[in-house]
Structure 1
């Protein structure tokens, strides 16, 4: 499988395999004086390196503050379990990540209500039915990882603003699969759309296009202080070791220097694949580098493509709803136009009736 051409990983910008990035990381490690962090952030795991990196993250993503978490999963569970209070309501896109669902299950919110995926009209229906008391938390993603859908964020925000005054709403956008792909120097979809001030909280993760691990919540100083003291996955977990922090620092450096060029290359390859497969695209934004090939024979199609030298994965129930099995295709800057062409030919030959 190691010889296969990668059309599966989330390493969209190919930073995880960057020799330049590895060289920089080695330089950082030579200056490191610790193997581990020593404890949780509230005990012995905090450091000047942590706080400096959080300041750097906040600056890069045009945010007031950033709070580091060990993973995006931990960050989502923390936010949705700790922020909503009794009497509050969480309204969420039907396709939000499993970590949001885990957080909601642990929350004190009086209700958690889904609206149809990326559908402003259905969000309007849901918000119209809510009582006039309590706060409303809206949970959406910039890019949905299993479907490659780009969030209709401006339209959804217009609906929220119509129904909820600023003091009663909290819009949370998970940018996990948009970081590096959209925005100036990979700052995300919210930045790309000019909606930073209209969104209350953003989650950025470093395990996808940045090629490393960890995540950060972008928020206000007050919310950062609250999460630091009430987010159980943060409080009761050992803080990330210095090497993980250095890796994020190096990835951000590379976004500053090469992010726009790498993203442009990624978008060109994504357009090539979608065009070759006749995949529809109606947005003015560049399509996400995720293309699901829906077929009831997803497992056998994935095995066939793997046998032809393409690393792809079948995604089936319970990861996705029953009846929506698919082969998930991810494009990267390390893919070549020739590889894209060959993959498209293989898909057309072996799954001509699959839905895109």
Structure 2
């Protein structure tokens, strides 16, 4: 048992390394102390508390720094065993839990990346910074990005290009400049999702073409919350002919495949609240929500998030769609609810504001 605990499970090298340590401890340290079994027992307990993945865990962290896991202290683990875990204490358990470990609702307009110094967007920019900090603490394996601005018509599309880099120019805001990007794709998860979608009767294709255009929302979000391209992504398209329920099924499918692969993912859904935009050519610094009615409905929806009331959120959405020009029928919310199995976790609205008339939010959903 000591050999496996010391070296680490899940690899051939782990037990071999543990065997070398065992010989050193048993023959030298144990002989010197005169209590070989006692020394092994004490060291086994300490290793399980302080290095639960063994020494190979350290080696893997060095070889794959973007997948590094923070380990709880022995005192934290003992406290959890003896007294139970608070939400703050149990964050270490979340770090090693497969599946969806975080979910965020982000704006989709490129204005936040192109004009993030504008005072009118300062709250939204700070909210995106908060999301970036959250992701760094969660240390996911993959960022799942559902963008309402990556349009698909015939099939459900999944980005499958291993690496994409270049400069992105938005078709509407080209005069404001370009956004650089350098992204990698979680190809294995993309393939798994394509297979699972086809088995579920959802026609799907993996996109793997040099120069295939990325949408403005995906580029903007990565520029602000994944600026170094540290986290691989799974980019999911918005099929214009899929309704709320089918889009929700896509979210469920992605969460299931991530869990099956033992991956921890953060879901980012990119889309607005109300979708009305200014048509009068007003300057950016005069941006505001298009109408008081839109603003009121936006606040009603955001109140459900603040109260962490997923049932009320889903009940309110049909009225929201009937009374406003909602962005893409809020299908991005459907995707998030699917990935979260219809629940909200430690939900919080980080920021709310305009994106050239439409409503934009930065919110933690889970």
**TM-score, normalised with respect to structure 1:** 0.24
Which one has more relative contact order, counting CA pairs under 8 Å at least 6 apart? 1
**TM-score, normalised with respect to structure 2:** 0.24
* Structure (1 or 2) with the greater helix fraction: 2
Which of 1 and 2 has greater Rg?
A: 2
